[in-house]
Amino acid sequence: MKKWELLQKYNKLLGEKRMTRIDGISGNSNKADIENAIACLECSDEQLDKYLTVIELKYPNVHRTISGNGDYKRHFHNRLYVYNTARFVLNYA
C-alpha cells in the first residue's frame, strides 16, 4: 500500500474508535509506524484488556498510571503504549 492509502485507512479507523489521533502518528510518520498504529486500532478491545493484564503483571506502577488516566482504549497515547509494550513483553520475556 502507498503511504496515503495507509493514512486514509488510519483516519477511518480513528473515526470508528472515536479517537482524534494517536500520539506520534501523522503524515510525516514512516510507513512502518502508520502500519503499527493501524494494527493497534484493528486490535479488539478484549485483546487490549488482556494486554493490559500482561502490563499489570510485569509493570504494576505503569498499570496504575495508565488506569488512573481514564479510558486507555480511547487515550491518544496509552492505547498504542499498551499494545506495543505487551507485545514486546510477550515476544521477548
Angle ∠(35,92,29) on CA atoms, nearest 5 = 20
- Give pLDDT tens digits along the chain (93 positions): 899 999 999 999 999 999 999 999 999 999 999 999 999 999 999 999 999 999 999 999 999 999 998 899 999 999 999 999 999 999 997
Are 39 and 80 spatial neighbours (Cβ–Cβ below 8 Å)? no
- Please give the Cα distance from 48 to 80 (Å, whole number): 10
